[in-house]
Amino acid sequence: MSRFNFTFQQDSKDNTGGGFPSRLKEHDQWLVTREKVSVAPATGWKKSVNHLTFTEAQEKAEQLGGAVAFCFTESGPFVGFDLDDVTVGGEFTEEALAIVQRLDSYTEVSSSGTGLHVIAEGDHSDDRKHRTDLTEAGHLEVYDESRYFVLSGDVYDGFTSVESRPAVVREVQDDHLPERQKFSFTGQQKPVNEQEFDGGQTDATPEQVRRTIEEFGKCDRSDVDSTRVLRWWRGQNGTKTSASEADMAFIEQLYFWCQGDQQLMDECFRTSGRMRSKWDEVHYSNGDTYGERHIRIACRRGDDEFDGRYVQ
């Protein structure tokens, strides 16, 4: 079920301003980037309180010599399809153009000239992963929150308007994106040995995951902060202001290190110092437990997964 009641509102015919759709300009979900890295705001770009209006973003982009970017948020109705490296011989592939035609919404050529961005009203399907390789060339990524597109305004083939396409958005994802492993908790405070899980897809134990994080932290790799992850594993909150915030940060890391395997993510959390009775308590009106909701959010946001070998 969608998180939104879609408006079915079309863009205004006046689509000036570098080709950027009026529907997007109406929303205060803008950033300024340089080399695809957010510089305004320089930090905290995922928080809506830090987002800019379109006018503010344009002005700051001129001041900083950067480019405007549109940020997808959990509270917003938009979804973005990023078709990357989808040219062969200087022409867009038929596969990529077929996706564009089906979505029939705002489409632009990316700044590299080898990709396409499509933005529509709709949302990312919780039962689908975010990324897939395409058959002819390149890959497809789909996001509706915690990501931004650096927009070029170079409208492709007359697709100037952001349209409401929730049904088609889901159909395209069903046809192209891999399915996620299903995962569910049932019952309040139900013991783990009575809970039902689909079979785990990753052949690793929580202890192997923990040791792998430790070993990668010993390598000269600036992109692995094992100290922070292991601090959360031990039950410490670190720089986070609350236990719940630290829980979410830890679970998002588990998504990466567990290769998106939700059962293994649950097992790792249960063996960590963060485990408490709250994990199995029903906290939401739809029957979701605290743990179930946090794992679902992490899986919806996550895209990158560990592709190395686990320490035995």
Same domain for 273 and 225? yes
Domain assignment of residue 162, yes or no: yes
Residue 181's pLDDT band, with cuts at 50, 70 and 90, is low
Q: Are 271 and 206 within 8 A, CB to CB?
A: yes
Same domain for 267 and 164? no
Domain assignment of residue 187, yes or no: no
Note the pLDDT tens digit of each residue in 274-286: 999 888 888 776 6
User: How many Cβ atoms from other residues are within 10 Å of residue 132's Cβ?
Assistant: 15
Residue 7's pLDDT band, with cuts at 50, 70 and 90, is very low
Same domain for 101 and 149? yes
How many domains does one find in the chain? 2
Same domain for 120 and 171? yes
Among 191, 285, 297, 185, which residue's Cα sits nearest to residue 244? 297
| Cα-based angle 296, 267, 236 (whole degrees, multiple of 5) | 85
Domain assignment of residue 310, yes or no: no
> Is residue 84 over pLDDT 60?
yes
Residue 118's pLDDT band, with cuts at 50, 70 and 90, is very high
Domain assignment of residue 14, yes or no: no
> Is residue 254 over pLDDT 90?
yes
Residue 74's pLDDT band, with cuts at 50, 70 and 90, is confident
Structural domain range at position 129: 22-176
Examine the fold and report which residue of 176, 207, 238 is the final residue of a domain before the chain moves on: 176
Same domain for 139 and 55? yes
Q: pTM for the full model? A: 0.65
pLDDT at 189: 52
Same domain for 289 and 165? no
- CA torsion sign for 131, 43, 120, 68 is negative
Domain assignment of residue 246, yes or no: yes
Domain assignment of residue 172, yes or no: yes
Domain assignment of residue 78, yes or no: yes
Same domain for 28 and 149? yes
pLDDT at 271: 94
Share of the chain above pLDDT 90, in %: 61
What is the 3 state secondary structure string of the chain? CCCCCCCCCCCCCCCCCCCCCHHHHCCCCEEEEECCEEEECCCCCCCHHHCECHHHHHHHHHHHCCEEEEEECCCCCEEEEEEECCEECCEECHHHHHHHHHHCCEEEECCCCCCEEEEEECCCCCCECCEEECCCCCEEEEECCCEEEECCCCECCCCCCCCECHHHHHHHHHHHCCECCCCCCCCCCCCHHHCCCCCCCCCCCHHHHHHHHHHHHHCCCCCCCHHHHHHHHCCCCCCCCCHHHHHHHHHHHHHHHCCCCHHHHHHHHHHCCCCCHHHHCECCCCCCEHHHHHHHHHHHHCCCCCCCCCCC
Same domain for 102 and 204? no
Same domain for 76 and 209? no
> Is residue 193 over pLDDT 50?
no
Examine the fold and report which residue of 141, 176, 211 is the final residue of a domain before the chain moves on: 176
pLDDT at 1: 43
Same domain for 257 and 289? yes
Same domain for 27 and 171? yes
Same domain for 49 and 115? yes
What's the mean pLDDT in 122-147?
93
Task: Report d(CA 32, CA 100) in Å as an integer.
Answer: 26
Note the pLDDT tens digit of each residue in 137-167: 999 999 999 899 999 999 999 999 999 999 9
Examine the fold and report which residue of 143, 176, 209 is the final residue of a domain before the chain moves on: 176
Under 8 Å CB-to-CB from 78, ≥6 apart: which residues?
24, 27, 70, 72, 119, 120, 121, 122, 144, 162
Task: Report d(CA 68, CA 53) in Å as an integer.
Answer: 11
pLDDT at 221: 54
Residue 207 or 202, more confident: 207
Domain assignment of residue 5, yes or no: no
Task: Report d(CA 51, CA 145) in Å as an integer.
Answer: 13
What's the mean pLDDT in 229-258?
92
Q: What is the mean pLDDT of the chain?
A: 86
Residue 183's pLDDT band, with cuts at 50, 70 and 90, is low
Residue 45, CA distances (Å) to 20, 40, 72, 147, 196 in order = 20, 8, 11, 9, 38
Structure tokens at 232: 């959360």
Note the pLDDT tens digit of each residue in 212-231: 999 887 775 545 678 899 99
Residue 190's pLDDT band, with cuts at 50, 70 and 90, is very low
